[in-house]
Amino acid sequence: MKAGPGGPLRGRVTAPGDKSISHRALLLGGMAEGRTTVEGLLEGADVMATAAAMRAFGAQVARGADGLWTVDGRGELRQPDGVIDCGNSGTALRLLMGAAAGYLIQTEFDGDASLRGRPVDRVIAPLSAMGATVRGDGLPVTVIGAFLRGLAYEPPVASAQVKSAVLLAGLHAASPTTVLERRPTRDHTERMLPAFGADLSVEQTEIGRAVHLRPGARLRGTSVRVPGDPSSAAFPLAAALITPGSEVTVAGVLLNPLRCGLFQTLREMGAELEIAVREDAGEPVGDVTARFSRLRGVVVPPERAPSMIDEYPILSVLAAFAEGTTVMRGVEDLRRKETDRITAVATGLRACGVEVDEEMDGLIVHGRGRPPRGGAAVETHGDHRLAMGFAVLGLGAEAAVTVDRAEMVATSFPGFVAMMGGLGADVAPA
C-alpha cells in the first residue's frame, strides 16, 4: 500500500464495528441458548475466526442480506471436529480457551505465524488453577475442559483478554470467581455478560477494580448493537490532524472511558477534537471530529496505557509531527502484540527520518513540529495497526510511504483504503 501527501481530508464516515465487542457478541451468543442478533458486527478477519470457531463448537452463525448477524447457540460448546484456527487473533485465542475450559471437551487451538509467537502462559496459569488441563505452552495448544473451581485472580499483566478468559471459564465453575485489576482494562466482557443473563457485579475496592461472577446462571440469547471501533477511528482522525486544511468526522464511535485514552492524550497534545457523547445500547457512543492541528509532544502517563494499548503505533506517528518530545513508557506488553510494536514502530519511524529512542518498556519520539521526510518502504511484520499507522504517516510526510503486507488491514479494518480514499487521501495498493 502506498500513501502520499496530498490535499486536505474532508468528510464524515462511520467507523467499522468494534473488534472487541464483535468477538464477545459471537462468543457469548454461541455459548447461550437461543438466538442472538448482532447489528454492526465487524466483518474483519479476526472476528471471522471467532465466527468459524463458534460454528465448530456447534452454534449456527449466519449473516443476513441486511448485514444483521444471527447466532443460534445451544447453551453449551460441543466437541469440535478439527483444530480451532484463530488466525492472527489473540482475542479469539485467549477468550475461546477460557470458554472451552468449562466444558467436558478437548479443543486444539492454532493460529498464524504471528499468533504462534505470542504468549499463552498468561491464560494457561489461571485456567490450570481452575482445574483445566492444558497441553503445550505455546501454539498449537490443547485445552481439556473439566468441572472447574472458581478462582480469585489478579492477572500479573493488565490484560482484558486474560480477565475475560477467567470470567468465561468461571461461568461453569463450582464456586464464584473474582478477577481483580489494579489497572482496569476494557470492560466489554463484564458489560455484556449480564445482558446474556450472567450473575456478575463490579466493585471498586481500595486496591483496584474487582469483577465478581457467580456461576450457574443460564445464558440466553439477546440482541447486541456494536458501536464503531475507536481503535479504527483513530486512523482517519489522525490523518486529519496532520494534513493542513482537514476536517474529518467519524460517527458512532465507542467512547467507553476504558478505550478512550488516545483522545485524552491527543487533547493534551493540542489536537482540535470535538466529541459529542450519547448513551447507546449500554455503551457511551458519539461522533468525533478532528481538524488539522499543531501538535506538541507530551509525556503519556503509564497508567493510561490499558485505555489506549492498541493506539501506541498511531500515537507514535502523530508524535513525529508534533513539536517536541513524546514519551511513552510502561508499555512493555506492546512487544507481545501482533508483532513487537516497540521495535517495529521505532524502525519504521527511523526509516522515515524520525529520531526515536527505543527503551525496554517504551518509546521516545522526537518531533520537529513539521512533516517528517517519509519516502521509505516500511516493514509491518504483518501487523494491521502498523500498516495503517505508517500509511497515515505517508499522507502527511514530505514523500510517500509504502507499507508491505497491506492485506493485513483486513484483520480489523477491511474498508480502510476505500474510506481514506473517500476522504480525499492519496492511498492505494502499491
Which residues are near ligand S3P by CB under 6 A?
Answer: 20, 90-91, 159-161, 164, 186, 309-310
Distance CA 424, CA 143 (A): 48
CB 398 within 8 A of CB 374: yes
Alpha carbon distances (Å) from 128 to 41, 98, 112, 147, 176: 32, 10, 24, 12, 16
User: Which amino acid appears at position 78 of this protein?
Assistant: R
Minimum distance from residue 372 beta carbon to ligand S3P (Å): 26
Alpha carbon distances (Å) from 13 to 10, 235, 246, 287: 10, 12, 14, 10
User: What is residue 199's three-state secondary structure?
Assistant: strand
Return the H-helix or E-strand segment holding 266: helix 261-268
Dump the DSSP string for 23-46.
HHHHHHHHHSEEEEEEES---SHH
Alpha carbon distances (Å) from 294 to 245, 248, 267, 322, 365: 12, 16, 11, 7, 16
Minimum distance from residue 157 beta carbon to ligand S3P (Å): 7
CB 72 within 8 A of CB 82: no
Torsions phi, psi for 269 (to 5 deg): -85, -5
Return the C-alpha cell found at 229: 471501533
Identify which of residues 108 and 332 has a Cβ nearer to ligand S3P in the complex.
332
Burial of 423 (0-12, 13-18, 19+ CB in 10 A): buried
Place of cell 490532524: 241
CB 268 within 8 A of CB 32: no
Distance CA 299, CA 177 (A): 37
Minimum distance from residue 383 beta carbon to ligand S3P (Å): 11
Q: 171: how many CB neighbours lie within 10 A of its CB?
A: 25
Minimum distance from residue 402 beta carbon to ligand S3P (Å): 25
Q: Say if strands 299-300 and 323-328 run parallel, antiparallel, or are unpaired.
A: parallel
